Amino acid sequence: MEYMTSNLKIQKQLISSKNILFIQDIDGVCIPLVKDPMTRELESRYIYAVKEFAEEFFVLTCGEHEGPRGVNRIIERSLRSTTEPKNKGLYLRGLAACGVEYQENNGKISFEGVSEKELNFLSKVPILIRPKFNFIVKNIFPELSQEDINFHAVKSICETRFSPTINFNSLFDLAYKDFEKRKLIQISFEKMMNEIILEAESQGLENSFFLHISPNLGNKNGREIVKLSTKNDIGSTDIQLLIKGAVKDSGALFLLNKFIKDKTGKAPFGTNFNFRNSPNSIREKVDLCKRTIHIDEMPLIIGVGDTVTSKKNHDDKIYLRGGSDRSFLEFIQSLGNEFGINNKIIFVDSSSGEVERPSTKESGLRGISDIDDNLKFDMVFKNGPEEYINWFIELAKKRSKFKKK
């Protein structure tokens, strides 16, 4: 299917619909993927376009809003100001840390559903990781000096407030094209992060955390499956320690609740609803919406992501499907089907960034989707974030004009 031929038809529908809601990932969608998150850049034109959409736009990301690595710092750099984003409401409104950290466009942050004890443990995770990191890296790269190991530790251990993360990109550079070494990095650090969960359990936090692996190949026995590196695909690039229940489909439910409350004054799932109150399965989430949301209040939702995977497991000939954006896109698609609303699923090809990923230009949707995949894309931006941003900016202008009529 040639997705871009339907572009004009979709654009017209989005411009003229009474009620629309964007729920959009960030990294790889409006920011090109980079190996070092501290070098990420965001176009100022895009930031102003988000402002045009006003209450019709939310972000939903596994990154964070605040802190040195947060998206707010990127916005301040893009606008060359630390005061303008707050005063003019130019921060990205929505959920970060996969559904925990909510932010208004003036930078006001809230995080319901997280205990003080959990926050306290999360703050200590980078300290727990450091000696383990040292040991693993020395084992895989015995020739490295301590100074070099320290250099890679700074790049690899992400001290984020709600989602301390180990990022492999810096170490992958050392492994270069040796995918066996890359696999060893992935396996070693997954084991290490599971040890951190055991540590949390020993401190009385038995049901507090899980590992979010990006990209992944779906779930097995409640755990995300690492996408191991191959010759042509780098596989999983980071592992986050997240608070249990912080998954993007629950985040999308939270945002929908907020959107309808802002529009009608009444929150369908209650004013205190957060990721911890969310039903688990997509089916249960859709059923909750059917019970509590009137069709007239349901917007046409546009879900936008870049991390979706599908890989054939040749042992039992089934496809393993995952990726951190899959669950919320599947939820949005199912919701549209149930409510008879033509929700839109948009895929942005992030393979043109610094991180190797399957490319829609080179191999179509191989590695991303498959013939039996329930998730179907309405649009695919093969040229990545730049192409998506240009489309988004044009749509924002036209939508804004339509709303002023």
Mean pLDDT for each 10-residue chunk of the chain (405 residues)? 66 94 98 90 97 97 95 97 97 97 97 95 97 97 97 95 96 94 98 98 96 94 94 92 96 98 97 95 98 97 97 83 96 98 96 90 94 95 96 96 88
The distance of Cα 350 from the centroid of its chain, to the nearest Å, equals: 13
Whether the CB-CB separation of 354 and 38 falls below 8 Å is answered with no
What pLDDT does residue 356 have? 84
What pLDDT does residue 1 have? 43
Coil, helix or strand at residue 166? strand
Instruction: Tokens 């190797």: give the residue.
Output: 356
What pLDDT does residue 56 have? 98
For residue 352, the cross-strand partners are none
* Pairing, β 57-60 against β 379-381: unpaired
Residue 327's alpha-carbon distances to 209, 256, 307, 320, in angstroms, are: 18, 15, 10, 14
- Residue length, the chain? 405
Going by the DSSP 8-state scheme, the letter that residue 120 receives in this structure is H
How far is the C-alpha of 391 from the C-alpha of 56, rounded, in Å? 16
Q: Which of 337, 344, 358, 96 is nearest to 217 (CA)?
A: 358
Count the helix, strand and coil residues of the chain and give each as a percent rounded to the nearest 5.
Answer: 45, 15, 40
For residue 40, the cross-strand partners are none
What domains, with CATH codes, occur in the chain? 3-110+247-404 (3.40.50.1000), 116-207+209-243 (no CATH)
- In the numeric block, which tokens belong to residue 54? 């006003």
